[in-house]
Amino acid sequence: MNKVKLTIDDKQIEVEKGTTIYKAAKQLEIEIPVLCYMNLEGLNIENKPGGCRICVVEVEGRNNLAPSCSTEVWDGMVVHTHTMRVINARRTVMEFILSDHPKDCLTCAKSGNCDLQNMAVKLGIREIPGQEYAEMSKYKTDFSPSIIRELDKCIMCRRCEMMCNDFQTVGALSAFHRGFQAAVGPAFEMDIEDSPCTYCGQCVAVCPTGALTEKDHTRDVINALSDPTKKVIVQTAPAVRAALGEEFGMEPGTLVTGKMVSALRRLGFDYVFDTDFAADLTIMEEGTELLDRLTKFLAGDKKVKLPILTSCCPAWVSFFEHNFPEMKDIPSTARSPQQMFGAIAKTYFADKISTKREDLVVVSIMPCLAKKYEAQRDEFKVNGNPDVDFSISTRELAHLIKEANLDLNKLPDEDFDKPLGESSGAAVIFGTTGGVIEAAVRTAYELHTGIKLDKLDFEQLRGFEAIRKATVDFDGTPINIGIAHGLGNARKLLEEIKAGKSEFHAIEIMSCPGGCIGGGGQPTHHGDSSILKARAKAIYAEDAGKPIRKSHENPYIIKLYEEFLGKPMSEKAHHLLHTCYFDKSRKIEID
Amino acid sequence: MSNIKVKVKEKDLNTIKEICKSFDNKPGELINVLHKTQESFGYLPAEVQEVVAQELSVPVAKVYGVVTFYSFFTMLPKGKHPISICTGTACYVRGAENVLQEFKRQLNIEVGQTTDDGKFSLSCLRCVGACGLAPVVQVGDKTYGRVSPEGVKEILAEYSEK
Amino acid sequence: MITNLGGFKMSQHKQIRIALNNCGVIDPENIKEYIARDGYVALGKCLTEMKPQDVINEIKESGLRGRGGGGFPTGLKWEIASKNHADQKYVVCNADEGDPGAFMDRSILEGDPHAVLEAMAICGYSMGATKGLVYIRAEYPLAIKRLKVAIEQAREYGLLGKKLFETDFDFDIELRYGAGAFVCGEETSLIHSMEGLRGEPTIKPPYPAEKGYLGKPTNVNNVETYANIPIILRKGASWFNKIGTEKSKGTKVFALAGKVKNVGLVEVPMGTTLREVIYEIGGGIENDKKFKAVQTGGPSGGCLTEKHLDTPIDFDNLLAAGSMMGSGGMIVMDEDNCMVSVAKFYLDFTVEESCGKCSPCRIGNKRLYELLDRITQGKGELSDLQRLRNMSLVIKDTSLCGLGQTSPNPVLSTLDNFYDEYLAHVTDKKCPSGECKDLMTYFVIEENCVGCTACARVCPVGAITGEKKEVHYINPEICIKCGACEERCKFDAIIVK
């Protein structure tokens, strides 16, 4: 590799050819402020349109300032990162950006966690010259079940557009108009609800301002908790416990399961349950379905569709409903853990505590924004009453905890309530890419072969690579497994299936980078992918420490089948735990 | 749980499909396709863009992004006699602004609008390359040079009977 | 369609025809006429007698610099593209002439399309490209038609297509249409536009010569640059480089317009002075008014004054004077033009044409425009002038592409050269040239007014009062400065100040 020597702020450094000034400076621990630039290292996600021009630096011999995020170094380059010329330019550009940005930080969902706000502080902005007569961009605010778009706050960093198109290949968002009118949104500025959006929430996860935020349900939750006529129960998804601590100053990757339970109890939830319980249930249903299809397939039944695709990710479900409707009979019909939990809670559990469906409020804590949309899908309602009433994100939970003056750091560790709070290690790893399929393999292997696994860690299924392939030997029968995280990667696998070239028996798909740990409802990663890796590590650690690590060994699951469901894929299970999919593709029709 | 339906007339659908096909349905030909489509329809309404998007396998958001980027493309139907006023530098220096104001006043519309009877629409363009005749106004294919605000009435009168 | 561009009747004194050599002389729709004037001789010579590097060396030696704006050495550009190896390379002709007030590219394409085609083939040969693309404004239907005819005829004559001049060199040309975006004159934007995308620029490097159209090495030159190529190769670099100044060789075509007597295209050797162009060729200022400024380089250029009139025009001198060559627009202004309004006019253009990708250009130019607008309305303050300058400098310093990097030039050059005029607007609230309506007041001259009431009757807002046969009064609070009263008054009793 070619090496290049350069000088930044009088310090010499040698870096590889092709390195940008920003990255070279980082190696010297010189921090150059960036706004539109974002690099999720190891995930192959990089946004560097060179648009905001905050990261400009002075390069000797060059007429104008250079954007450090996208200017490559050359041999003998001399860079000054903080001269008065640079500082004046950054401030002036920042004043430009803020002059077209609403100043409603008091009520903005992003306040306190906003890259733009932080930058304004860093650059010492105290006034916006000419603000009183500066025209501001005006757009309508777009409300959807999951995502709220306030385009007035868009600074054209293009991160959301990059995520939606390059990473997810959803194509719901694009830059439109030009010049001062330019912004990013769906075609014809239609509501996002009418676009092919899957609500994966990755646009929200990367938005540096309050232009894209989640639909906030904390108000609804507070109302339910303060209503004495309601029983309010809560379920928490696996990825939440690996990230919630970050909102309270803890190191990324700190597990806060017990403290989280304790906080939820103090917030007033009548029962604190675990979505992991439902994840175990998912494995029972989905694993049985897999084995059923597999057995028939191996016996030569041509009607059986393989590979089977996981169906616990609601954004992924929307994705194939929009883009691959002709393949809607391939994914497992198993509902997601959130919805299985809701269905069981409002039947089995409601009976147990003798509460009417209408008086039981089910709240879910999710790392995800698509779960908000999923919870209000018609097929998950009984007489208009949803199985899951409100789905709030990890971020919203953190807000609630802080609002209630609870310090997560100081809370004692407590256990989930029974019966819907018991779970296996297999359920915990649902929170990271490869986890669902690993959990399914643990159960399917044992049920299929009748042999007890002596090693439960399937390392070949783990990691952050975009598409992973592994073959697991089911006692003589090789089972090919595919894993993709990110819908763009999923698309590649789907195209293979469509072309009849897929070698897989089972595929796990998660929409978000790293799986649910990188979900759109998680604490903002601010472009640091090491945070995602730390969360994944925490998830695997929790699994390793669990006494039960296989879904079919969860005693409360066994009991649920004995007392209520019968067996996996029974009629009752079908009714409560399975679903069907719809063709949501855009249709051109003759008028 | 229904999908989004886009209604298009069969004839129009076939026209767009043919245009796309003549460019091998290549996404990279989007701008050429839009040129041809606008030539046939006079403008690019949303449903037309939806069809183009589907035929070229480009997200419709991206098609809209392209249509709104280029000033040549329009999503509004133009008048029977589209009036374009050159606001290039040479025309500006020779008083194009006053001519524009006079057209706006006489037609009672703003730039980008069409009169209620669908007869005239008003737009500005940047230099038609006839700076020697500044200020220049085009009505349809016809070009008028050295136009003064006083001459506006006369120009419009030419089209009043047609 | 206008075919008479009104320029060719002008004095040929001081003019040399190189780029416009055949324009108006040959029938552009008849290839035979082009061939009769040594057309395609240069291509034949290149293919049969010269190695690709020889061609590049000849162009380098000629000193030809890009005529589209920046003035980058053409030979060097070709050489870089030739050294980047790839299975496919492209030659692109930028015919998206977007500078309001320049139309030389259109004239060349309409008058001498084969010169451009021949040059593109020569470029293709020198850099190893077999495909050429002309990116042309859709608003130029005649140029498009003539290009199509020319391409067809060249193919018929075996001058485009396979095995040109019985060598192994293949070259063909297709048309791509612009759709009305000034920023597409920037080469990376142009390439994105040809790829069917929004014409937004990207950061260079990578240059198109490394990664251009469809990711392949691509050479982009504008029409006028190409029009110089065949003649250089026919007559030799040493003929060409004797014309012009030390660092700017050859001629430049200007679109002379505005308040001069003779308007139209002018082709003069580099080094000709502005005075020679405006007074000797242009015939001086219309209606014998006073010369005030000349704007070169379009929205990217600046306004030059009296003191620059004897500066020899070339790339570097114009840059040093705070303007630039640009594509060759040359707009002359007289005492009636307000320079603050002129700056505002250009900013209005930039605001409309900014692609919106980078914040200084997207928002900064808007803020510049708003401030200029306030100044022309008499709402400006002295401190605003310093802000104008700072914003301008930062926009230049931080914008992503050439559009934003040059868009404040009209502001900076007028601030430099016409500071007093800005001062008059912000401190005295007066527009010396009388162009800014908001700063004007209509008065009745008492001794001239006979009280005929004509003005009061024509006033659309009822701002004029007065009894019959008595002196009338215009209420400045109500007056909308439409000028109707002044026009109606037969006694010269209404004036504007």
The verdict on C206 and C59 lying in the same domain is yes
Mark yes or no for CB contact C400/A67 under 8 Å.
Answer: yes
For residue C203, give the nearest of A70, A93, A130 by CB distance: A70
The verdict on B15 and B51 lying in the same domain is yes
Any domain includes C230? yes
Which one of the listed residues A48, A110, A231, A371 is annotated catalytic? Answer: A371
Chain B within 8 Å of A326 (Cβ-Cβ)?
Answer: no
The verdict on C39 and C133 lying in the same domain is yes
| Residues of chain A with C-beta less than 8 angstroms from the C-beta of C198 | 175, 178
A-C interface: how many C-beta pairs under 8 angstroms?
105
For residue A49, give the nearest of C357, C397, C405 by CB distance: C357
| Residues of chain C with C-beta less than 8 angstroms from the C-beta of B30 | 196-197
Mark yes or no for CB contact A586/B68 under 8 Å.
Answer: no
Which strand (E) or helix (H) includes residue A472? strand A467-474
The verdict on C267 and C186 lying in the same domain is no
Any domain includes B109? yes
Chain C within 8 Å of A188 (Cβ-Cβ)?
Answer: no
Chains in contact with B via at least 3 Cβ–Cβ pairs below 8 Å: A, C
Mark yes or no for CB contact C5/B94 under 8 Å.
Answer: no
Residues of chain B in Cβ contact (below 8 Å) with chain C: 26-32, 34-35, 58, 65-66, 69-73, 87-90, 92-94, 125-134, 141, 143, 145
Mark yes or no for CB contact B50/A195 under 8 Å.
Answer: no
For residues A154 and A183, give the distance between their C-alpha atoms in angstroms, rounded to a whole number: 7
The verdict on C255 and C140 lying in the same domain is no
Any domain includes C17? no
Q: Nearest chain A Cα to C354, which residue?
A: A179
Chains in contact with A via at least 3 Cβ–Cβ pairs below 8 Å: B, C
Mutate to test the interface with C, among A34, A180, A181, A184 (most CBs of C within 10 A): A180
Residue that is written with structure tokens 């060759």 in the block: C328
Structural domain boundaries enclosing C259 = 251-334
| Residues of chain C with C-beta less than 8 angstroms from the C-beta of B70 | 178-181, 199
Chain B within 8 Å of A590 (Cβ-Cβ)?
Answer: yes
CATH code (residue C164): 3.40.50.11540
pLDDT in tens, A23-78: 999 999 999 999 999 999 888 899 999 999 999 999 999 999 999 999 999 999 99
Domain boundary among B44, B69, B94: B69
Known active-site residue A495: no
Chains in contact with C via at least 3 Cβ–Cβ pairs below 8 Å: A, B
Any domain includes B150? yes
Any domain includes C468? yes
Q: Nearest chain C Cα to B73, which residue?
A: C179
Chain B within 8 Å of A403 (Cβ-Cβ)?
Answer: no
Residue C458: other Cβ atoms inside 10 A: 15
Please provide residue A453's backbone torsions phi and psi, each rounded to the nearest 5 degrees: -70, 135
Any domain includes B15? yes
Q: Name the residue among B45, B43, B46 with its Cα closest to residue A194.
A: B46
Any domain includes C11? no
Per-residue pLDDT of chain A (591 residues; tens, 9 = 90+): 689 999 999 999 999 999 999 999 999 999 999 999 999 988 889 999 999 999 999 999 999 999 999 999 999 999 999 999 999 999 999 999 999 999 999 999 999 999 999 999 999 999 999 999 999 999 999 999 999 999 999 999 999 999 999 999 999 999 999 999 999 999 999 999 999 999 999 999 999 999 999 999 999 999 999 999 999 999 999 999 999 999 999 999 999 999 999 999 999 999 999 999 999 999 999 999 999 998 898 888 888 888 999 999 999 999 999 999 999 989 999 999 999 999 999 999 999 999 999 999 999 999 999 999 999 999 999 999 999 999 999 999 999 999 999 999 999 999 999 999 999 999 999 999 999 999 999 999 999 999 999 899 999 999 999 999 999 999 898 999 999 999 999 999 999 999 999 999 999 999 999 999 999 999 999 889 999 999 999 999 999 999 999 999 999 999 999 999 999 999 999 999 999 999 999 999 998
The verdict on C104 and C78 lying in the same domain is yes
Mark yes or no for CB contact A378/B1 under 8 Å.
Answer: yes
CATH code (residue B138): 3.40.30.10
| Residues of chain B with C-beta less than 8 angstroms from the C-beta of A178 | 68-69
Which one of the listed residues A374, A422, A438, A508 is annotated catalytic? Answer: A374
- Angle C171-C172-C177 from CA coordinates, rounded to 5°: 140
CATH code (residue C482): 3.30.70.20
- Listed by number, the residues of chain B in 98-137 with a beta carbon closer than 8 Å to a beta carbon of chain A are none
The verdict on B113 and B142 lying in the same domain is yes
pLDDT in tens, C263-322: 889 999 999 999 999 999 999 999 989 999 999 988 889 999 999 999 999 999 999 998
Chain C within 8 Å of A74 (Cβ-Cβ)?
Answer: no
CATH architecture, domain defined by A3-82: Roll (3.10)
| Residues of chain C with C-beta less than 8 angstroms from the C-beta of B69 | 181, 198-199, 355
B-C interface: how many C-beta pairs under 8 angstroms?
119
Which one of the listed residues A114, A154, A164, A516 is annotated catalytic? Answer: A516
How close A490 comes to chain C (CA, Å)?
A: 25
The verdict on B148 and B88 lying in the same domain is yes
CATH code (residue C419): 1.20.1440.230
Known active-site residue A414: no
Evaluated on CA atoms B49, B51, B55, B61, the torsion sign reads positive
For residue C6, give the nearest of B69, B93, B132 by CB distance: B132
Per-residue pLDDT of chain C (497 residues; tens, 9 = 90+): 333 344 444 566 678 899 999 998 999 999 999 999 999 999 999 999 999 999 999 999 999 999 987 789 999 999 999 999 999 999 999 999 888 778 899 999 999 999 999 999 999 999 999 999 999 998 888 999 999 999 999 999 999 999 999 999 999 999 999 999 999 999 999 999 999 999 999 999 899 999 999 999 999 999 999 999 999 999 999 999 999 999 999 999 999 988 999 988 999 999 999 999 999 999 999 998 999 999 998 888 999 999 999 999 999 999 999 899 888 889 999 999 999 999 999 999 999 999 999 999 999 999 999 999 999 999 999 999 999 999 999 999 999 999 999 999 999 999 999 999 999 999 999 999 988 988 988 889 999 999 999 999 988 888 999 999 999 999 988 887 877 888 889 999 998 87
For residue A173, give the nearest of B1, B10, B61 by CB distance: B61
For residue B8, give the nearest of A188, A377, A588 by CB distance: A588
**What confidence score (pLDDT) does residue B162 get?**
52
What proportion of chain A, given as a percentage, has pLDDT over 90?
A: 94
Q: Nearest chain A Cα to C396, which residue?
A: A64
Mark yes or no for CB contact C390/A92 under 8 Å.
Answer: yes
**What confidence score (pLDDT) does residue C2 get?**
34
The CATH class, in words, for A115-214 is: alpha beta
Which strand (E) or helix (H) includes residue B154? helix B152-158
Any domain includes C180? yes
Any domain includes C23? no
Which one of the listed residues A144, A195, A318, A332 is annotated catalytic? Answer: A332
For residues C248 and C178, give the distance between their C-alpha atoms in angstroms, rounded to a whole number: 30
- List A352's β-bridge partners, or say none: none
Mutate to test the interface with A, among B47, B62, B67 (most CBs of A within 10 A): B62
Any domain includes C21? no
Any domain includes B74? no
- List C331's β-bridge partners, or say none: C257, C295
For residue C394, give the nearest of A49, A92, A133 by CB distance: A92
| Sequence-ordered list of residues with C-beta below 8 angstroms from that of A349, at least 6 positions apart, any chain | A233, A360, A419, A420
The verdict on C41 and C117 lying in the same domain is yes
The verdict on C422 and C464 lying in the same domain is no
The verdict on B85 and B154 lying in the same domain is yes
Domain boundary among C299, C334, C369: C334
Chain B within 8 Å of A587 (Cβ-Cβ)?
Answer: yes
Per domain, the residue ranges of chain A are 3-82, 115-214, 290-334+424-555
Known active-site residue A289: yes
The count of structural domains within chain B is 2
Which one of the listed residues A161, A289, A396, A438 is annotated catalytic? Answer: A289
Any domain includes C122? yes
Mark yes or no for CB contact C398/A155 under 8 Å.
Answer: no
The count of structural domains within chain C is 4
For residue B27, give the nearest of C177, C181, C196 by CB distance: C196
Q: What is the ipTM of this complex?
A: 0.93
Residue A1 CA, distance from chain mean position: 36
Residue that is written with structure tokens 């003779």 in the block: C262
How close A5 comes to chain C (CA, Å)?
A: 19
| Residues of chain C with C-beta less than 8 angstroms from the C-beta of A181 | 356
The verdict on B47 and B85 lying in the same domain is no
pLDDT in tens, B85-142: 988 877 887 888 889 999 999 999 998 888 988 899 998 887 776 777 889 999 988 8
The verdict on B64 and B95 lying in the same domain is no
The CATH class, in words, for A290-334+424-555 is: alpha beta
Any domain includes B3? no
Known active-site residue A164: no
Mark yes or no for CB contact C198/A53 under 8 Å.
Answer: no
For residues C124 and A563, give the distance between their C-alpha atoms in angstroms, rounded to a whole number: 80
User: Are residues A33 and A90 in contact, defined by beta-carbon separation less than 8 angstroms?
Assistant: yes
Output the furthest CA–CA distance in chain C (Å, rounded): 92
Any domain includes B124? yes
The verdict on C76 and C203 lying in the same domain is yes
Any domain includes B5? no
Mark yes or no for CB contact B3/A582 under 8 Å.
Answer: yes
Q: What six digits make up the tokens of B161?
A: 């009977």
Structural domain boundaries enclosing B58 = 10-69
- List A80's β-bridge partners, or say none: A58
Any domain includes B1? no
| Residues of chain C with C-beta less than 8 angstroms from the C-beta of B145 | 2
Mark yes or no for CB contact A171/B54 under 8 Å.
Answer: no
